[in-house]
A = this chain, B = another copy of it.
Amino acid sequence: MSNCIVAQSGGPSSVINATVAGVVKANQLNPLYEHVYGGLNGIEGILQERFVDLTNMSEEENLKLRQTPSSALGSCRYKLKRDNVADFEKIIAIMDKYDIETLFYTGGNDSMDTVAALSEYAAKHNITNHRFVGCPKTIDNDLMETDHCPGFASAAKFIATTELQCWYDVNVYPASRKEVFILETMGRDAGWLAASACLSGKVDILIVPEVAFDKEKFLKRVKEIVEEKSKCFVVVSEGAHYADGTYISAGEAKNDLFGHAVLGGAGETLKNMILDNDIAPRCKVQDLSTAQRCHATEQSLVDVTESFRLGMSAHARTADPKFTGKMVGVRRRAGADHYDAEFFAVDADKVANYVKNFPVEWLQPDYKGITQEAVDYMLPLIQGNPVILYDENGLPAYVTPYYMRDEK
């Protein structure tokens, strides 16, 4: 019996470890491999033969791993280039050396490109004893083919919850105190995360990268809303931009004389616009920054469960010796009268290097937010709360990152 290895890449999420936990648990229940190794820091660490052995992970560790944010195996930004043959040869040699049959790689579209490139290389060189399987992961929810990406829903839930809570906070002062609140979310290319704030029902203006930003139109809307109800709630993607592609933040930062390319992101730039143009006397920005992708204490139960099961499904599919170059995706079970997910496999090269934008037909005109169709798509994904284990200090119990332990 040969071995398998699982590794993580790209920006982490709060449920990416659940996929690793799923692969490990699946192999305990149905041992297709003698050892399940964890590759540290993605493909970068695998090239350095930095592994840990996860085969006999305890149930307690597995439960903690599912709720531990970020990538417990470490991540990398290393991109395997197709013309760098040495890297491909080295990976195959290392897999030979450790008798590793299958590499499970969790990540976004760059990672799916790595899976596609490795399986293409293997096919071209008639290598049939090494296989490569992708597991989608990105809070950005911008991967093609899959209905949604594990990690998105938990981030969306935190964003919508924060928007709701901030709405309560900003509204406490009397109507005489006019104020604009701006929530900035991640999303350089796609507006999924910003759009998710609308699940709170408390967003007046939504600005996403899918629709060109029009400063005059925006300020006019803010002014109308502040006049009508004293408080105005804006949500903006970090990647929102003007029609010519200039990021909102960059658009103002070019006035900066101090050499800092970005003063404070899209939210801060909108704030300055609002104040400079006397649209409202007060404006506050909440940039969710890193917290939105690692706030694992409010995982969506649907999300973390799907992430875990996706790992199990990926593991099970490799019982077929021809299963390689695929990504395991999620889709909604057709004909079900309630939300229900099932997994399927798709060629990784159909996912690599594409971006799935938020559908413009799901946006209301004039920055007014999202349609019911968009709500119906997102709402089932954020449901439920897993039981979170806490340690004796009153903080959530997390596993020690594997990249910080003694290495094999």
Give chain A's interface residues, CB within 8 Å of chain B: 8, 12, 14, 41, 44-45, 68-72, 74-77, 157, 160-162, 164-166, 168-174, 181, 199-200, 255, 257-258, 260, 263-264, 268, 272, 275, 284-291, 293-298, 300, 379, 382-385, 388, 390, 393-396, 398, 401, 403-404
Contact = CB atoms under 8 A, between A and B. Distances in A.
A169 B290 contact: yes
Contact of A395 (B44, B200, B257, B263): B200
A401 B168 CA distance: 8
Contacts of A383: 394
Contact of A394 (B8, B157, B173): B157
Contact of A174 (B74, B168, B173, B401): B74
A45 to B, nearest CB: 7
A244 B388 CA distance: 46
Contacts of A395: 157, 160-161, 164, 199-200, 382
Contact of A165 (B75, B174, B285, B294): B294
Given A165-B296, A284-B289, A382-B395, 17 more contacts: A12-B168, A74-B173, A75-B173, A157-B395, A162-B295, A164-B395, A164-B396, A166-B290, A168-B398, A169-B290, A172-B401, A200-B395, A263-B264, A286-B291, A287-B287, A297-B298, A382-B394
A291 B74 contact: no
A8 B70 CA distance: 39
18 contacts: A74-B171, A74-B172, A74-B173, A77-B173, A161-B297, A161-B395, A165-B294, A166-B290, A170-B290, A171-B401, A199-B393, A257-B257, A260-B272, A264-B268, A288-B291, A297-B298, A379-B394, A383-B394
Contact of A291 (B165, B172, B263, B300): B165
B169 A294 contact: yes
A285 B264 CA distance: 10
